[in-house]
Chains A and B, each alone.
Chain A
Amino acid sequence: MNEMNRKKRLPTEVVFENVSKRFGEKQATQDVSLKVPGGSFTVIIGPSGCGKSTLLGLAAGLDEPSDGYVFVGGREVAGPTPEVALLFQYYNLFPWLTACDNVAFAFRNRGMPRKEARRRAMELLANVGLGDYADKVPDELSGGMKQRVALVRSFALQPVLLLMDEPFAALDHQTRRIMQSYLLMTWQATDATVIMVTHDLDEALYLADRLVLFSGSPGTISEVIDIDVPRPRRLDEGSLAAIRKRLEAHLEKEVAYDEFTETELARVMGYTRGG
């Protein structure tokens, strides 16, 4: 029954309406308005410290906007719910729980009996090829395995929204590609909306339906690009290559403002770029 209801529910739209957020003196984001279509895969890209992660915190209900509104599924966000899952670069798993118990943690918090929670967790881990590692603690797992367990747990409660903050940034190139495939595979089997923050242009181009370019401090949206190239994608494809150029230009322009002087940048970049 539950499954049926889940399938029928409408994909969850996320709306930021003139959102500003200050942390003490620091203005993290300024007057951000953004509509994230239900069921879409939206990637936010931009230089460090431009308030991208702040947006995720607001959508998760972990922070409140200083000004403006955040709506998830038509309702204003009022605190964290299990309907919204989070995935970070580190610290997703509790080091004192085994992989199985980490996944079961999600079920246990909803009042499921321990045995049942463990059984469900084992099933989910087996689905991603981690059945043999269920009794390992996170310290015994590789970085990729940890993120796979975390990914499984994120989807365990069938969230309507998944918020990811550079989830694969700490992984090596190959593992990252595989994790991206896992993510797409898992996501496409659900109707969840995904918002992901990343620094990795390739990652953004492989995954996104919609790219949101963030800039500056305080953070504002400078551009939104829709990508309707079907997956799996090849990055050397004409339209993607063109978008990539635009993204690179955007990021380069942004970083120049930040921590390098113009002359320093010109001098240094001569070593890697011609002309």
Chain B
Amino acid sequence: MNASGPGHKLFEQSLTPSELQLDDAAQNVRHNAEAITQTTPARPPRATAKPRGRMGVAWREAAWLLFAWVLIAAVWELGAYTEVLNPRILPPPSQTIPYLLQGPAPAGIGSQRTTFLGAIVDTLSRVGIGYLLGIFAAMMLGALIVRYKPLRHLCYPIVQTLAPVSPVAWIPFAIALVGIGSPAAVFVVFMAIFGSMTVSAVAAFDGVPEEMLKVGRSLGTSGGQMWTRVIIPAAAPNLMVMARMSFFAAWMAVLAGEMAGINSGLGYLIILGQQMYNMKLVMVGIITIGVLGFVIDRLLLLIQRRLLWWEYRQ
């Protein structure tokens, strides 16, 4: 506690020269190298350095992300311009991005008519509901399997055999059961993650160190409190990693489902583009899927940082 005051001051002092030099682009490299050698011995306590460091890393990461995409867009544009790439099959960013920004015209006919925004809302709500239901159900079943021996013998083998089944394989069954539309897509998403997430939940709960449980019990924790106060927090880091992995599975499942019979949503938008030979629409679909998937994963990472705050300290 006491150390953080002077340490912080040191940090600011040592940083000031390098900040001043930022304007002076010509001398930047040389002075930065100096600034680094100056800064190192006066390193502040890690507690104060951390937030700043992490923000710095985040900005650098974002800059690289942007740069990589600008680079690929430029190469692409060049390829289309020189006709190395066929612009009718791979429409360049200069065509796709304005098309995306104006909002693609409503596509499809009759009841399958869909707008860009409508497709996004459809897909997001399906994946959201299916994902949350799947995670919740998997955690519950995982806990029951860990808690009750007979269930482990009975349910676990079934879950283990169902886990590797491709979610797309459930589509005929889903459509026959609840018809074409959102419930079928939710079902497919659910099936995509339920098995694997249950297996992970069981592994995470089983992996809680025996000593930790014993300490909990000897400190007077029992029954349900054992779960809420010891087992779930202890398993949380592993659960969270698996939950993030599961999101990718869920995201792919909903799109595959929409392409293979559930005729609406972003996946279907791509199929429409294919059917109408509108490659700009296909491209818009792909970009949207990629960007949304990325953004949601970052959100999950943010939630992970909040939930598992103790792992991101020091």
Contact = CB atoms under 8 A, between A and B. Distances in A.
Given A86-B215, A88-B215, A95 B220 contact: no
Interface string B299-312: 00000000010110
A105 B216 CA distance: 9
A86 B214 contact: yes
A92 B215 contact: yes
Contacts of A82: 218-220
B215 A91 contact: yes
A245 to B, nearest CB: 34
Interface in B157-213: 209, 211-212
A182 interface: no
Interface in A137-187: 137, 139-140, 153, 157
Contact of A91 (B211, B217, B229): B211
A80 to B, nearest CB: 5
SS class of chain B's interface: helix, strand, loop or mixed? helix
Contacts of A57: 214
A85 B230 contact: no
A110 B310 CA distance: 25
B218 A80 contact: yes
Contacts of B218: 60, 62, 80-82, 84-86
Contacts of B233: 94, 96
Contacts of A96: 233-234, 236, 308, 310
Contacts of B311: 95, 139
Chain B CB within 10 A, most for which of A84, A94, A97, A106: A94
B314 A132 contact: no
B27 interface: no
Contact of A137 (B219, B221, B310): B310
Contacts of A71: none
B220 A94 contact: no
Nearest to A137: B310
A98 B192 CA distance: 37
A109 B211 contact: no
B311 to A, nearest CB: 7
Given A132-B1, A139-B311, A109 B221 contact: yes
Contacts of A157: 219
B236 to A, nearest CB: 7
A62 B310 contact: no
B153 interface: no
Interface string A23-35: 0000000000000
A137 B313 contact: yes
Contacts of B1: 132
Interface in A20-76: 57, 60, 62
B235 to A, nearest CB: 11
A82 B218 CA distance: 6
Given A80-B214, A95-B310, 10 more contacts: A80-B217, A85-B218, A86-B214, A88-B215, A92-B215, A94-B212, A94-B234, A95-B234, A136-B313, A139-B310
Closest 7 CB pairs of A and B: A91-B211, A109-B220, A137-B310, A88-B211, A91-B209, A96-B233, A86-B218
28 contacts: A57-B214, A80-B218, A80-B220, A81-B218, A81-B220, A84-B218, A86-B218, A88-B214, A90-B209, A91-B209, A91-B215, A92-B215, A94-B212, A94-B230, A95-B310, A96-B308, A97-B310, A106-B219, A106-B220, A109-B219, A110-B220, A132-B1, A132-B2, A136-B313, A137-B310, A139-B313, A140-B314, A157-B219
